[in-house]
Amino acid sequence: MELSPLVFVGGLLLVYAALAIVIVVVFASRSVPLSRRRPELQANHNSGLTKLTDHAVTALNQQLRGRGPGLLSRERLDSAGLKKQPGDYLLFVGAAAFVAAVIGFLLGGLVPALLLLLMAPVGLLLLLQVLVSRRRRKFAEQVPDALQMLAGGLRAGHSLLRAVDAAAEENESPMKEELSRVVNETRIGRDLGESLADVARRTANEDFASITRAIEIHREVGGDLAQVLDNVGETIRDRTQLRGQVKALSAEGRMSALVLMALPIVMFFGLTLFNPLYSKVFLTTFPGFLMIVTAVVLLAAGGFWLSRLIKPKF
């Protein structure tokens, strides 16, 4: 099927419009808003695209605000370290899906466009999950050192809040961001235990949850909190050592799983490169697309199953 020049030009214009929306959503929040720098010039310098984007983000945030936790909740974006509202990310997902669909239509027609339209949001959601997992893993690595700093601050005579603040100053992100958030929330009147519990829930870290429970028990019954934190630190170090042993013993199996999962993908691209006739049935027919989707789902399920098998439970 040959495409007319008008369809090609229209597709390019739609791609440019979607890219403009993506640029506005991603990069606009990095600079200081004009309303803070020059309030009197705000109405004169906002373009139509900026106003449309702002209205769309506001409407999306209002719709998502009362729906609680979900795939694009504010808490989930905080867990990934993204300083944006859910509406910003949702608009970015929509623009990326639109660009992918237009590119798929220009390259292969309706079926690739539909597939890319479905795969682009899924890919961005998977990217969000990867960011969440990476941030939580880095946070878990910082917990023992932060606990040692906290106990040291208490032995030096600091209050609990001051010790948390000192630990935040000495650590790097994401521990620094989380502890600084605890300090700021406590200074404006929120209970320290609630703020620490939110950190444990946001990072899904059992070790930090143990620290939170120890601090809550100490606030109720009293005692030497530094000694209690030292005991908790020994337990956390033992858990970390056990995780390291499991990771080392399962390294060969995980590497074999990665090779087996990557082998079909590498073979497919190799056949496409050296003899496109072999892969033509997968790229030009609906059963071929269905087989590709099935293979991706099965590979993802197998990878998830293997990741659960090597994850220790305490």
Note down the domain range covering 260. Answer: 251-309
Q: Between 24 and 208, where is the model more confident?
A: 208
- Reply yes or no on whether the pLDDT at 52 is more than 60: no
- pLDDT (0 to 100) of residue 31: 47
In a domain, 10, yes or no: yes
- Cβ count within 10 A of residue 59: 12
Instruction: From residue 140, give the alpha-carbon distance in Å to each of 92, 170, 248.
Output: 30, 16, 18
Range 59-73 average pLDDT = 57
- Reply yes or no on whether the pLDDT at 263 is more than 70: yes
- Reply yes or no on whether the pLDDT at 164 is more than 70: yes
Same-domain pairing of 245 and 264: no
In a domain, 125, yes or no: no
Same-domain pairing of 98 and 14: yes
pLDDT grade for 116, boundaries at 50, 70 and 90: confident
- pLDDT (0 to 100) of residue 276: 76
d(CA 197, CA 171): 19
- Reply yes or no on whether the pLDDT at 210 is more than 80: yes
In a domain, 80, yes or no: yes
In a domain, 212, yes or no: yes
In a domain, 228, yes or no: yes
Instruction: From residue 68, give the alpha-carbon distance in Å to each of 71, 80, 145.
Output: 10, 17, 33
Same-domain pairing of 9 and 75: yes
Same-domain pairing of 291 and 200: no
Q: Between 54 and 136, where is the model more confident?
A: 136
- State the pTM of this model: 0.66
Q: Between 194 and 15, where is the model more confident?
A: 194
d(CA 160, CA 219): 10
Structure-block tokens of residue 282: 């997968």
- pLDDT (0 to 100) of residue 105: 79
Domain count, the chain: 3
Mean pLDDT of the chain: 76
Same-domain pairing of 278 and 172: no
pLDDT grade for 115, boundaries at 50, 70 and 90: confident
Same-domain pairing of 243 and 152: yes
Cα of 295 vs its chain's centroid, Å: 25
Same-domain pairing of 63 and 78: yes
In a domain, 299, yes or no: yes
Same-domain pairing of 10 and 66: yes
pLDDT grade for 123, boundaries at 50, 70 and 90: confident
Instruction: From residue 46, give the alpha-carbon distance in Å to each of 13, 39, 40, 42, 229.
Output: 22, 12, 12, 6, 53
Range 173-177 average pLDDT = 88
d(CA 238, CA 245): 11
In a domain, 118, yes or no: no
Of 32-36, 55-59, 193-197, 269-273, which range is least confident?
32-36
In percent, how much of the chain has pLDDT > 70?
74
Contact 290, 234 (CB under 8 A): no
* Maximum mean pLDDT: which of 8-12, 25-29, 178-182: 178-182
Contact 86, 66 (CB under 8 A): no
- pLDDT (0 to 100) of residue 99: 82
- Reply yes or no on whether the pLDDT at 208 is more than 50: yes
- pLDDT (0 to 100) of residue 184: 92
